[in-house]
Structure 1
Amino acid sequence: MSAPRIALADDQALVRAGLRALLEGQGIAIAFEAEDGAALLEGLATTPVDVVLSDIRMPGTDGIDALLRLRARGDATPVLLLTTFDDSDLLLRATGAGAQGFLLKDAAPEDLRDAIVRLAAGETLLQPVSTGPVRARYAFHATDAPREPFSAREVAILRLMAGGYSNREIARSVFLAEGTVKNYVSSILEKLDTRDRTRAVLKAITLRVI
């Protein structure tokens, strides 16, 4: 296929300029730039692109709000969100809203280009998150240890959960039925004594399960 055409959304002009220079040097065409989600949606209404590359955090209409509105109006353009680990609680929200990919802001330039090309080809990319910063921010006591040991399969699913994968995406990745993955997730939450996926991931990281 020909080089993808993308829409670039970030509230910082210098960041947009840097990304434009980087991507155009790698053969990626920038159809238009937007300083927030509202401008992104306005641009997409008249200028179709192959992939949307957007910061997840922007003032006003942020990346997730823009994604929700884009999907609500029936636009299935693949969306790649740039994020930092501090956005870990947003990854699950964004996946549910219809994002096809996440990439950490410290990713290598070639990884960014590869992600855009892959999304344009219809693939999904959800990069596993770094665990070091989480262990530095959260702490659990020995009494918080898992109720039972984790199987290798559960650890693999936990890692995918940490990368923001939905049950359906996990199922495709590990070649299981979605219902089976749902059962695994329920078992993981029970073992970690948590009610939500984000807290389970944080706890699994700090307890060095993953």
Structure 2
Amino acid sequence: MTALRIALADDQAIVRAGLRALLERHGIVTVFEANDGNELLERLADTPVDVVLSDIRMAGMDGIEALRRLRERGDATPVLLLTTFDESELLLQATEAGAQGFLLKDAAPEDLREAIERVATGETLLQPVSTDPVRARYQYHQQEAPREHFTEREVAILRLLAGGYSNKEIARAMFLAEGTVKNYVSVILEKLGTRDRTRAVLKAITLRVI
């Protein structure tokens, strides 16, 4: 099997070095590193890769703006964005821009490798949908779903859902049985009045639940 080739964008050299070493141990080749979105776009113009792994927040051009420009010029290279729990609004913007997925920065090495492999084969970790209709539809429900209606554990699970984690991955991260996580997700969907995980995440973001 041919090793996956990625571009790695982060404005902290020590983070890039750590990720590169980690990925090499898992058989993933970092073709080049970029310090910001501008450098990423320049290098991608003449150095194709299988997946772009980029931090959302970077000095200069950030990951979301780089993603927008990449799509504007017709480059469909899968983009996996690194994020933290406090970037819910940015996740919404990145979904609109066409990100194939998100990964929490404290994800386990196995999860990072699996995420890269999944987006390389065309999967998404959070299905991109048009968020403007969702935002407009739920805007007037602000008072109907205040944060206190959700337990701390439900909010934590919602955040992991926003990061693209599966029930199995959430169970492992939170030391719960997979069936227990499935039950929590069902309760979350019911509280948010949605039938699928993607819309639940988008609505939770719009309502500032996460």
TM-score when normalising by structure 1: 0.65
Change in CA separation of 1:110 and 1:68 when aligned onto 2, cut-off 3 Å: same
Counterpart check, 1:85 vs 2:85: yes
Partner of 2:116: 116
* Distance in 1 of aligned mates of 2:111 and 2:2: 18
Aligned-partner SS, 2:54: strand
Change in CA separation of 1:2 and 1:159 when aligned onto 2, cut-off 3 Å: same
How many Å apart are 1:89 and its aligned residue? 1.0
Aligned-partner SS, 2:87: helix
How many Å apart are 1:162 and its aligned residue? 5.9
> What letter is aligned with 1:126?
L
How many Å apart are 1:85 and its aligned residue? 0.8
> What letter is aligned with 1:71?
R
Aligned-partner SS, 1:19: helix
Aligned-partner SS, 1:16: helix
Change in CA separation of 1:110 and 1:45 when aligned onto 2, cut-off 3 Å: same
Which structure 2 residues correspond to residues 8-23 of structure 1 after superposition, within 5 A? 8-23=8-23
Partner of 1:95: 95
* Distance in 2 of aligned mates of 1:146 and 1:16: 39
Partner of 2:185: none
1:8/1:30 contact within 8 Å kept: yes
**Can you give the 5+ residue segments of structure 1 that lack an aligned partner in the other structure?**
128-143, 166-183, 189-195, 206-210
Counterpart check, 1:69 vs 2:69: yes
Which structure 2 residues correspond to residues 1-210 of structure 1 after superposition, within 5 A? 1-126=1-126, 144=143, 146=145, 159=158, 163=162, 198-200=205-207, 202-203=208-209
2:103/2:163 contact within 8 Å kept: no
**Can you give the 5+ residue segments of structure 2 that lack an aligned partner in the other structure?**
128-142, 165-189, 195-202
1:101/1:124 contact within 8 Å kept: yes
Partner of 1:171: none
2:53/2:79 contact within 8 Å kept: yes
> What letter is aligned with 2:11?
D
2:3/2:29 contact within 8 Å kept: yes
How many Å apart are 1:114 and its aligned residue? 0.5
Change in CA separation of 1:22 and 1:164 when aligned onto 2, cut-off 3 Å: closer
Once superposed, what is the RMSD of the aligned Cα atoms?
Answer: 3.0
How many Å apart are 1:117 and its aligned residue? 0.6
Cα-to-partner distance string for 1:78-131 (whole Å, 9 max, x where unaligned) = 00000101111110110110000100001000100000011111111139xxxx
* Distance in 1 of aligned mates of 2:99 and 2:144: 33
* Distance in 2 of aligned mates of 1:13 and 1:160: 27
Aligned-partner SS, 2:106: coil
Structure of larger gyration radius: 1
Aligned-partner SS, 1:89: helix
How many Å apart are 1:187 and its aligned residue? 6.1
Aligned-partner SS, 2:26: coil
* Distance in 1 of aligned mates of 2:86 and 2:75: 28
